[in-house]
Structure 1
Amino acid sequence: MSGAENYKNVYDDDFFAYTSGISWKSAQKVVPVFRELLPFCKSVADFGCAEGVWLKCWLLNGVEDVVGVDGDYVNTDALHISKEAFFARNLDEAVDLGRRFDVACSLEVAEHLSPESSRQFVQSLTRHSDVVIFSAAPPGQGGEFHMNEREYDEWRSFFRDEGYEAYDCIRPKLKGFHDVSFWYRYNIVLYVKQTVANKLPEAIKATKVDANAKIPDIAPPIFKLRKSIVKLLPYGLQNRLAALNSKLRSISG
Structure 2
Amino acid sequence: MCRVPRSPRPSAPSARSRRALRALGAGLAEALLDVHAAGLVHRDLKPGNILLAEDGPKIIDFGVTKAVDASQLTATGAMVGTPAFMSPEQIAESRDAGPASDVFSLAGALVYAATGAGPFSAGDPASLIYRVMYEEPRLDGVPGPLRGVLSACLAKEPDRRPVLPALLEAFLPADPAALLSPALRREVAAREAEAAALAGERSRRRLRRRGSTGRTRAGRAAGASSAWRPPRPSGRWAPGAAPRPGH
Shared fold, TM over 0.5: no
Higher share of residues assigned strand:
1
The TM-score, its normalising length taken from structure 1, stands at 0.27
**Greater Cα radius of gyration, structure 1 or 2:** 2
